[in-house]
Structure 1
Amino acid sequence: MTTNYAITAGRAAPLGASFDGDGVNFAVFSENATRMQVCLFSEDGKEETARIDLPERDGDVWHGYVSGLRPGQQYGLRAHGPFDPANGHRFNHNKLLIDPYAKRLTGHPEWDDRLMGYTVGHEDADLSFDERDSAPVMPRCVIEDPAFSWGDDSPPATPIHESIIYEAHVKGFTAKRLDVDAPGTFIGMASDPMLEYLNKLGITAIELLPAQAFLNDRFLTEKGLTNYWGYQTLGFFAPEPRYLHRAQIAEFQQMVARFHSAGIEVIMDVVYNHTCEGNEMGPTLAFKGLDNASYYRLTDDRRYYINDTGTGNTVNVDNPMVLRMIMDSLRYWVEVMHVDGFRFDLCSTLGRVGDGGFDRGAAFFDALRQDPVLTRVKLIAEPWDIGPGGYQLGGFPPPFLEWNDKYRDTVRRFWRRDPGEAPDLADRLLGSAIQFDHSGRPATSSVNLLTAHDGFTLHDVVSYNERHNEANGEDGKDGHGENYSDNMGAEGVTDDEAINAARAQRKRNMIATLLLSQGTPMILAGDEFGNSQDGNNNAYNQDSEISWLHWEDVDDDYLAFVTRMIAFRKSHPILRQKLFLHAEERAEDGMEDVFWHAPDGGRMRDEHWNDPELRCLAVELRTASTSPDYATENTAIFVVLNAGGPLEITLPEPSEGHAWIWEIDTSRPDGVAENEAKARFDMPGEAVCVFALMPSA
């Protein structure tokens, strides 16, 4: 091992390893360390060639500049300091650490007891000290020059009210595609066939499951399984190595540029609420060894971790340097990687302050809302965690959008014919105003979803009553127990044509409901063509046929229907308004902007709404009474959602010079209505029908 490197003081900013053309500046935050070392490795990463002490400390940032280092140099960190777990300190210089700001990692830790800062099996448990070097089983950080020739790339900047979000897994999206280069990678994801497919479908934004570097949990690898979803972040700046075809971060940038060229935004699902290091019995990989007491929220006795996330630890966003890391990471992905937005996993955790209570004015939210870079991208919250008071749907400040699980559950229950669901569905159809109509928030704040990665696919919602998670190795007990699903008469795959037809119709009803609702629709990849996970509703560890999209089994008829519904939404601004509809009269014509009709054409009354057996909703939608965005021409959309049997419906009286055009009928496999719209029509059972008010010829 050599130390023959010219090192000078360098700078305290930016944090991380920064190449300037002549050498590399290293800057590492640690409030409680007593010494910080950069470890350099040979080209193949096998030999540690140097340990360099960072010579300067500016506040809590250790820094130094090493001349002659180039991109591609592999490195890691070692932090010296007190090993005093009882007081929150877990320094162990024998453990090679990931730089929190590393732009690329060579791979993943290899599970071995040497990764632990304590001696596994010792009677003192985590209070013991392990002296073995973890470098042989740790990945290396890689110095990168992230400059990329973007050409004329510019973000599509699709307005929220025009967005159709598509949640997809980087590997699973293309793992079974035979017509793409490098399937299962960033390169494959943005290949020509996939871009053409998404454009034809009508998608405006793809939301990637975690693509930052993450860990394969030990308990999974010991079972021969994999962390597939990726909610165990190891590096907040580095792309996940397994998604890189040639180990180049430019592959991510190329993917984004290609999506942008197709008019599609890229939204990243990010996990800043916890890390992959677990609790006091977890490994020492990065943050725990750099400054455990700063990076994590600890209990009052300082030995243990607050676990509002269910993963063993909670990131300490109250610490300004930890908050800075998160903000730096977000800005990096926007400015350097050109992403268009973020979906924040367990976002309630990021709003916990002081004693752990949620505060919509927390430092994290304030920092985001004032940041000139981040205020121009889309911000989506998963509005819950498992901590006290963690369910915060509707509680986030603008400009956040929020995943709306109440929308998901209400739609499922309504079409399952549960009693008393119609009034709730009426609220969900209009953007869930009860949650979101405050603080100047638009109706688009509600991200409406039928399904997501966590749970059944849409096909499985209509095919299974019970979860079938045996492949996960947890005796089938993991995952949600209540899915509000309905197998329609047979559990799983069946040859019964009547059941299969009923399932297909219910899927058409549900996707039509989604695309006719005010709010921002999100579709789970594969739901548009009938993808199934064989009843597994928690496929987090299934990097297998269970989770990969089954492109060989595409239901072309259903795919055509979903494509048509997306196009219908896009062609009718009334269906994607930013303002909430509250049955207020419009100044220009005195018409109410929303009108709920009884089947006989009259107004819905309290006795209708209070009837638990109400199965049919008929609503007339117009431009909001105070909308500045749309022309005030006298058009409308009339939607009938009927989860009951056939009945006769009276259409509203059309405006002078206009007529109702029957556009959608989900009782038909193609959804195309062939019957002429009349004043009274026979509404099919368990179907959705849609009429558009258009000028008469």
Structure 2
Amino acid sequence: MTKQEFTVLEGSPWTLGATWDGSGTNFAIFSAHATKVELCLFDSRGKREIARVTLPEYTDEIWHGYLPEVRPGQLYGYRVHGPYDPANGHRFNPHKLLIDPYALQLHGEIHWHDAAFGYRIGHAREDLSMDRRDSAFVMPKCVVVDPAATWGPDIRPNTPWAETIIYEAHVKGITALSADLPDNLRGSFGGLADPKVIDHLVKLGVTAVELMPAQAFFDDRYLIEKGLTNYWGYNTIGFFAPATRYISPGANLHEFKMMVRRLHEAGIEVILDVVYNHTAEGNQMGPTLSFRGIDNASYYILADDPRYYFDTTGCGNTVNMTHPRVLQMVMDSLRYWVESCHVDGFRFDLASSLGRDRDQFSPSATFLDAVRQDPVLSKVKLIAEPWDTGVNGYQVGNFPPGWAEWNDTYRDTVRSYWKGDPSTLPALASCLTGSAEKFDKRGRRPWASVNFVTAHDGFTLMDTVSYNDKHNEANHEDNRDGHSDNRSWNCGVEGATDDPEILALRDKMRRAMMATLLLSQGTPMILMGDEIGRTQGGNNNAYCQDNEMNWLDLKGVDEGNAAFRDFLSGLIALRRSRPLLSLPAFLHKKAHEVKVEWLRPDGAAMEEGDWHNPDSRVVGMKLQNASQGLLVLLNSHYDSVSFKLPAPIYAASWACLVDTDAGTVHVRRAPPVEGESVDLSSRSLLVLEDRGE
């Protein structure tokens, strides 16, 4: 079929991607080693290539051209010519249609076929062979868009770090079971923007949603062949485009912006979980989808043998943040989501890889320094997952000022303590006071520790008290995947039970762990569904389960879990009303007006031997400023204890704010505590207050 003719002019190299200027569209793409770049235009369904245009200019390693006839909605992709020489790091193959790294929207999903690979699958020479089949029929297409949006009076919440409470959520999972929503909105950005969903978040009291990957990603071929999908989404291929699966039918990228605005109207910030450490192209045996075919030797860190990849991510490749054009792409992407989409921050997957200039992590690595000095990005919330799979990849506490970090030591310590493990008190005290030994560096504050008991990776809160072992059989990996060290306890029965005593104990354990989280210095993070007892049936690696195992059912909440949700909401309200629970500086600072004391059950101060007694499982933490005192009493022992109270200073008696045994929270008026001692039930926590009226 005869292809259409399009006028092509010189254009500009300065703005990468497809830029609509109101008259025509400029196309620009970086490749240092290509010999020719062709722009391919497709019909409105993405099925037929209607034109192939060679970009006429090459300036400063940017290939560019301007097409006055191309309008928003036009589908396109690239074919890039150059040497197919894997042994020397080059994998150009013009038979493969490639995604523009700067595409703002994609049309369609990948349809897995051997044609998506640059080499001949099954060939004796493996990836050294070359596949000459056209891959356009299996590839999604890029979309020329008009990014202009009418935001109106969108006001960012700008919640201070010390007041932030994060809710880790999944775009699809939070609404997939919402019977109140029409089918076309379930699992979409539009669904998350629904008032009923937002109302749930507001009533809970969280200040930010941290959305698991929402940038364009694909399902891995090996998962599709097993009848599974990449539900979590840590497989990014487009750093500027939203995932097409989360855009409702008939909508476009503006649906994402609408979601952000509605969350902002409710006072809730939006933090994106982003994956810049690797891409969906995998190792040398992976597909050729974008970067590999555009300029493999520039976009990725190659091994000493450049046929292979230097991999600190465990995902087959590592993005080359030391290359100025690759660094520019990541920085441009981050600024796009902040400036054009109004997001409030980012959580960086496997961030230790981003802090390497190859082998060694450094807080002054190229990317970390670039973000720190950027006038836009330095002002938003930045959260690191401070580890990767490379040498010395565990870097908790070592990120530079301005960054917060996931603190997995907090998770392990709190789980171990309430499970009843010995020798946990010193670590617990550190967790309660902001993990200063890790984060009190270079003027960093307690909020730098993002505290969590559960996250998407691992057991849910309900499963933490219901299973001793992982049960990942549904992942079809013979239960070999996922961590085996879960610090969990099933309370006597593995999995579901109708034993009322065990159910009551599990509820008590859940309340104690959530109370600990909300009473600790630092930034608390709550996993979606923990507030209503969501279970994954013991699966601690549910990355491939796009089904009820991962979805949230806000309607099917039983009485017990409704009570737990209200208890958690009360804890959040209490935290937000008591400044002592979210201090702006570490407690040990000499100039700090707040004093901390550690008490034994007999009311005396904790001594060195008490801390290091492996059987010590009871402790009191007293916080006091010029007008208020809070006393947090914790008992992870299987027996109750009598705890002698210090004399109140500001009131006639202590008042009980929180009792995890009874499941009560009193944010305003709390009942007084009679007597000089309190009975601290087994595996429970009390919060008492001494404050003058």
User: TM bucket by the smaller chain?
Assistant: over 0.9
Question: 2:270 and 2:591 mapped to 1: Cα distance?
Answer: 39
Contact 1:102-1:237 within 8 A present in 2 as well? yes
- Return the letter of the residue paired with 2:319: V
Match of 2:383 among 369, 380, 383: 380
- The 5 A counterparts of 1:574-593 are 574-582=580-588, 584=590, 593=595
C-alpha distance in 2 between matches for 1:59 and 1:683: 70
1:275-354 aligned at under 5 Å gives the runs 275-354=279-358
User: 5 Å matches for 1:379-528?
Assistant: 379-528=382-531
Aligned-partner SS, 2:642: strand
**What is the distance in 1 between the residues matched to 2:108 and 2:47?**
13
Counterpart Cα distance in 1 of 2:302 and 2:455: 32
Aligned residue number for residue 612 of structure 1: 614
Matched residues in 2 for 1:527 and 1:646: separation?
27
Shift in CA distance, 671/586, structure 1 to aligned 2, threshold 3 Å: closer
The alignment status of 1:561 with 2:561, answered yes or no, reads: no
| Code of the aligned partner of 1:512 | A
Shift of the alpha carbon at 1:430?
Answer: 0.3
- 1:25-424 matches, cutoff 5 A: 25-181=26-182, 182-245=185-248, 246-354=250-358, 356-424=359-427
Q: What per-residue deviation string (whole Å, max 9, x for no partner) do you get for residues 85-128 of structure 1? A: 00000000000000000011112211000001011111110000
Q: Secondary structure at the match of 1:553?
A: coil
1:97–1:132 Cα change, 3 Å: same
Opposite residue 636 of structure 1, the aligned amino acid is: G
Which residue, out of 636, 640, 647, partners 2:633?
Answer: 640
d(CA) in 1 for partners of 2:176, 2:483: 26
The separation in 2 between residues aligned to 1:680 and 1:89, in whole angstroms, is: 74
Displacement of 1:677 in angstroms is 4.3
Aligned residues: CA RMSD: 1.3
SS at match of 1:486: coil
Could you tell me how far apart the structure 1 residues matched to 2:658 and 2:671 are?
A: 9
SS in 2 for 1:447: strand
Q: CA deviation at 1:6?
A: 1.5
User: Structure 1 residue 657: deviation in Å?
Assistant: 5.2
Q: In structure 1, what residue type is equivalent to 2:682?
A: G
Residue 680 of structure 2 aligns with which residue?
Answer: 683
Shift of 1:622: 2.8
Please report how far the alpha carbon of residue 183 of structure 1 lies from its aligned counterpart in structure 2 after TM superposition. 1.1
SS of 1:481's partner is coil
**Residues 248-304 of structure 1 deviation map (CA, whole Å, 9 limit, x = unaligned):** 000000000000011000000000000000011000000000000000011111000
Alignment check: 8 A CA contact 2:653 2:672 kept: no
* Partners of 1:585 and 1:593 within 8 A in 2: no
- 8 Å CA contact 1:399, 1:441 repeated in 2: yes
| Cross-structure match for 2:603 | 601
SS of residue paired to 2:173: helix
Secondary structure in 2 aligned to 1:51?
Answer: strand
Report the AA paired with residue 632 of structure 2: V
Q: Work out the CA distance in 2 between the residues paired with 1:91 and 1:23.
A: 29
SS in 2 for 1:343: strand
| CA apart distance, 1:671 | 4.8
Superposition deviation, residue 2 in structure 1? 2.9
Matched residue type, 1:616: V
> What amino acid sits opposite 1:556 in the alignment?
A
TM-score normalised by the chain length of structure 1: 0.96
Offset of 1:684 from its aligned partner? 1.6
SS at 1:174's partner residue?
A: coil
Distance change in 2, residues 1:111/1:657 (3 Å): closer
The alpha-carbon deviation at position 558 of structure 1 amounts to 0.5
Give the letter aligned to residue 562 of structure 1. Answer: L
For these two proteins, the number of residue pairs brought into alignment is: 682
Q: Quick one: which amino acid aligns to residue 309 of structure 2?
A: Y
SS at match of 1:492: coil
Q: Which runs of 5+ in 2 are unaligned?
A: none
Partner SS for 2:332: helix
Q: 1:375, CA displacement in angstroms?
A: 1.3
Distance (whole Å) between structure 1 residues aligned to residue 494 and residue 525 of structure 2: 27
Residues 677 and 513 of structure 1: CA distance in aligned 2, closer, same or farther (over 3 Å): farther
CA distance in 1, matches of 2:219, 2:415: 33
Contact 1:430 1:580 in 2 (8 A): yes
Displacement of 1:586 after TM fit? Answer: 5.9
**2: distance between equivalents of 1:55 and 1:371?**
33
With the length of structure 2 as denominator, give the TM-score of the two structures.
0.97
Give the 3-state SS of the residue equivalent to 1:8 in structure 2. Answer: coil
Any conservation in 1 of the 2:17–2:27 contact (CA below 8 Å)?
Answer: yes
Counterpart Cα distance in 1 of 2:678 and 2:462: 30
| Residue 477 (structure 1) shift | 1.3
**Within 1, Cα distance between the matches of 2:188 and 2:675?**
52
| d(CA) in 1 for partners of 2:44, 2:135 | 19
User: Does residue 1:545 correspond to 2:538, yes or no?
Assistant: no
Aligned mates of 2:39, 2:4 — CA distance in 1: 11
Q: Distance in 2 between matches of 1:21 and 1:156?
A: 32
Seen in structure 2, the aligned counterparts of structure 1 residues 586 and 342 have a Cα distance that, compared at 3 Å, is closer
Counterpart of 2:33 in 1: which secondary structure?
A: coil
State the distance in 2 between where 1:498 and 1:402 align.
38
Identity %: 54
- Distance across 2 between alignment mates of 1:113 and 1:23: 36
Q: Is the 8 A contact 1:7 1:64 kept in 2?
A: yes
1:521-548 alpha-carbon deviations (Å, 9 max, x no partner): 0000100111111111100000011111
Deviations 1:182-202 (A, max 9, x none): 111000011010111111110
1:173 counterpart SS class: coil
Does structure 2 retain, via aligned residues, the 8 Å contact 1:560–1:670? Answer: no
Picking from 606, 622, 625, the partner of 2:624 is 622
Indicate if the aligned counterparts of 1:3 and 1:52 stay in contact, CA closer than 8 A. no
The alpha-carbon deviation at position 578 of structure 1 amounts to: 1.9
Alpha-carbon distance change, 585 to 379 in structure 1, aligned in 2, over 3 angstroms: closer
Greater shift, 659-668 or 677-686, is seen at 677-686
SS of the residue corresponding to residue 459 of structure 1 reads helix
My pick for the range that moved more, 268-277 or 653-662, is: 653-662
Structure 1 residue identity aligned to 2:611? W
Q: For structure 1, list consecutive stretches of 5 or more residues without a partner in the other structure.
A: 624-632
One-letter amino acid matched to 1:654: P
Does the CA-based 8 Å contact 1:472-1:541 persist in structure 2?
yes
User: Using the alignment, how far apart are the partners of 1:108 and 1:357 within structure 2?
Assistant: 36
* Structure-2 separation of matches of 1:64 and 1:74: 16
Structure 2: distance between partners of 1:131 and 1:383: 41
Could you say what secondary structure the match of 1:57 adopts? strand
> Aligned AA for 2:482?
G
Q: CA deviation at 1:659?
A: 3.9
Deviation at 1:669, TM superposition (A): 3.2
